[in-house]
Amino acid sequence: MCGIVGYIGNHDSKEILLKGLEKLEYRGYDSAGIAVRNEKGVHVFKEKGRIADLRNIVDDHLTGKTGIGHTRWATHGIPSKVNSHPHQSASGRFTLVHNGVIENYELLQKEYLADVSFTSETDTEVIVQLIEKFVLEGLEVLEAFRKTLTLLHGSYALAFLDAAGSDTIYVAKNKSPLLVGLGKDFNVVASDAMAMLQVTDQFVELMDKEIVLVTQNGVTIQHLSGQTMERKPFKAELDASDIEKGTYPFYMLKEIDEQPLVIRKIIQTYQNEQGQLSIDPEIIETVNQADRIYIIAAGTSYNAGLVGKQLIETLAKIPVEVHIASEFSYNMPLLSAKPLFIFISQSGETADSRAVLVHVKELGYPTLTVTNVPGSTLSREADYTLLLHAGPEIAVASTKAYTAQIAVLAILSEVAAKYKGLETGFELTQELGLVANAMETLCDSKEIIEIISKEFLSVTHNCFFIGRGIDYYVCLEGSLKLKEISYIQAEGFAGGELKHGTIALIEEGTPIVALATQASVNLSIRGNVKEVVARGANPCIISMNGLNMDEDSFVIPEVHELLTPLVSVVPLQLLAYYAAIQRGCDVDKPRNLAKSVTVE
């Protein structure tokens, strides 16, 4: 969701900005723009659509060693050239890009800017117009910026240029992520490190309510109150090759294939020198002191949380509730006496989850974030973090992060159980090793899933996924995958629930994917399949070896019952992938979606 880049240095900024924006494409966007400053002023290029469309309109001959760029995911105002960033003040002196939402923009417009004519429908434009207004009233640019920031309510990561003033990128953030990158004779600004890995791996974290002045040779950080802040840079532990597609047609397929490796990496990382699974004892004590765990997450991470509930309750015997982050803030259940909050988030930046984190921290409850991104907002702000070690996930549809989340939650559950002397009855390291092998087998059987998806999903506008128990949770994820990248309407249902209403939608040929990986409900789910087949549905049963029957379309290798989601989700991910390919969809960048949802 919206991305920002900036460059100030020795080289022409244009290509660095455009490449940076391409690296941010994965976050999701609908328009893009750049502004380049040279001795003649600031030159703005913006366009609705892809970065490739923006490239087509950028003047090849223009050069300028300072610039800012933006990918926009529309919130206020339709996706259009006019609403794209950068936005300029009325005189054109100030040029600004912004990520986030200014909640009081209409109020500010009325109170301070009634005589200014606005060119866009965005909340952003109010920021750049306010800066200019305060400068016209006699404030220095920095003071005008500071005054503007004190008036804003909401979230922002922003950067602006002053055509008439010094060669500086003015930067600030509140709630939305933003980093400054350091180089020799240049400095950069980026929503995430990936965008600027092309020029540096040294970054400085920015905190909320800080103002940062970035020049070619220096970075000055001030708190909004005026106090100067010192901060050491960190090295982004990312390999540039991690974020390349290689020979894969889409990142999603690459990331599906990476899952066995990720599981092995997780086993390795969470093992101590004696080869036992191990987690910081302070985290384990905090988990075991809780009388109830509240898992907070969104989308795919929420679906992983549901499987996590099963794992924690079964192994560590602690009751767990799983909540959708965007609902929790204003619809909070009655909490137990000693709750622990676990935030699951691939990006670590999801605004809905962060809102809950801020709230429960104010209430004084312990918090743990499970995330793929070290140094992300949810990681920094929670008491504890467990990392996924899945490597960058670029495709908008989450795949390897989902399985990594489940694997880490399984390890957390087992270590917490063992710590208090509970017997789990199995050796998790070994079982996860078998999971990795099973995933590999599935990744090697792609052609079968491709054929199934062709036969099964080519002429449909809807599809249902059914399962019982833990399979039901995987069905929620399978249906989310299918709908988000292929645009086929898909829903996941508890096997027994379909007949309480939704069965009315079953027609001749309606595709039903059924999961059968749990011995205790194998016959019941097959009974549910019969109910829909009797009404014309076209079934695709995916079962686990040992529970399989003749009618099954696909059989996954046998793994421990509790860990089946790690394996059964793979054919569902592939089914979604091939269905999307068949329909000619842009698999990695599905319409309307953002990878990092940084607004509430």
Q: How many residues does the chain have?
A: 600
Binding of residue 299 to ligand F6R (CB under 6 A): yes
Closer residue to ligand F6R in complex, CB, 160/250: 250
Binding of residue 346 to ligand F6R (CB under 6 A): yes
For residue 249, say if its preceding peptide bond is cis, omega within 30 degrees of 0. Answer: no
Tokens 């549910």 correspond to 528
Among 345, 479, 522, 564, binds ligand F6R (CB under 6 A): 345
CB of 454 to ligand F6R, least distance (A): 23
Binding of residue 416 to ligand F6R (CB under 6 A): no
Where are any strands of DSSP class E within 236-373? Answer: 292-297, 320-324, 339-345, 367-371
Give the contacts of 107 (CB within 8 A, at least 6 positions apart): none
Q: Could you say which residues in the range 64-83 bind ligand F6R, by CB under 6 A?
A: none
CB of 325 to ligand F6R, least distance (A): 8
Closer residue to ligand F6R in complex, CB, 6/299: 299
Window 174-193: contact mask with ligand F6R (x via CB under 6 A): --------------------
Q: Give catalytic status of residue 420 as yes or no.
A: no
Closer residue to ligand F6R in complex, CB, 160/343: 343
Binding of residue 162 to ligand F6R (CB under 6 A): no
Name which of 71, 89, 99 is nearest 134 in CA terms: 89
Closer residue to ligand F6R in complex, CB, 88/596: 596
Active-site option among 65, 309, 400, 595: 595
H-helix or E-strand containing 310?
helix 299-311
Closer residue to ligand F6R in complex, CB, 44/325: 325
Q: Could you say which residues in the range 347-366 bind ligand F6R, by CB under 6 A?
A: 347, 350, 353
CB of 372 to ligand F6R, least distance (A): 8
Closer residue to ligand F6R in complex, CB, 169/390: 390
Window of 340-348, 464-472, 496-504, 555-563 that interacts with ligand F6R by CB under 6 A: 340-348
Name which of 306, 561, 273, 259 is nearest 424 in CA terms: 561
Among 252, 298, 318, 432, binds ligand F6R (CB under 6 A): 298
CB of 300 to ligand F6R, least distance (A): 3
- Asked whether the beta carbons of 214 and 171 are under 8 A apart, the reply is yes
Active-site option among 2, 443, 463, 475: 2
Window of 47-55, 277-285, 342-350, 437-445 that interacts with ligand F6R by CB under 6 A: 342-350
C-alpha–C-alpha distance, residues 131 and 143, integer Å: 9
In the bound state, the residue with its beta carbon closest to ligand F6R is 299
- Asked whether the beta carbons of 573 and 400 are under 8 A apart, the reply is no
H-helix or E-strand containing 355?
helix 351-362
C-alpha–C-alpha distance, residues 239 and 251, integer Å: 16
Interface with ligand F6R (CB under 6 A), residue total 14
Window 376-415: contact mask with ligand F6R (x via CB under 6 A): ---------------------xx-----------------
Window of 48-56, 197-205, 230-238, 299-307 that interacts with ligand F6R by CB under 6 A: 299-307
Side chain identity, residue 550: D
Binding of residue 84 to ligand F6R (CB under 6 A): no
- For the residues of 528-584, what is the DSSP string, one character each? HHHHHHTTT-EEEEEEETTT--TT-SEEEPP--GGGHHHHHHHHHHHHHHHHHHHTT
Among 192, 255, 258, 484, binds ligand F6R (CB under 6 A): 484
- Asked whether the beta carbons of 513 and 575 are under 8 A apart, the reply is yes
C-alpha–C-alpha distance, residues 42 and 92, integer Å: 8
C-alpha–C-alpha distance, residues 94 and 88, integer Å: 6
Closer residue to ligand F6R in complex, CB, 299/571: 299
Closer residue to ligand F6R in complex, CB, 66/598: 598
Closer residue to ligand F6R in complex, CB, 200/350: 350
CB of 399 to ligand F6R, least distance (A): 8
Among 66, 122, 124, 301, binds ligand F6R (CB under 6 A): 301
Q: Give catalytic status of residue 2 as yes or no.
A: yes
C-alpha–C-alpha distance, residues 31 and 42, integer Å: 20
- Asked whether the beta carbons of 325 and 297 are under 8 A apart, the reply is yes
The C-alpha torsion from 117 through 121 and 124 to 125, rounded to 10°, is -10
Window of 249-257, 292-300, 508-516, 543-551 that interacts with ligand F6R by CB under 6 A: 292-300
Give the contacts of 597 (CB within 8 A, at least 6 positions apart): 1, 298, 347, 349, 350, 351, 352
Side chain identity, residue 242: D
Binding of residue 543 to ligand F6R (CB under 6 A): no
Rounded to the nearest angstrom, the gap between the alpha carbon of residue 115 and the centroid of all alpha carbons in its chain is 40
Catalytic residues: 2, 595
Residues in contact with ligand F6R by CB under 6 A are 298-301, 345-347, 350, 353, 397-398, 480, 484, 597
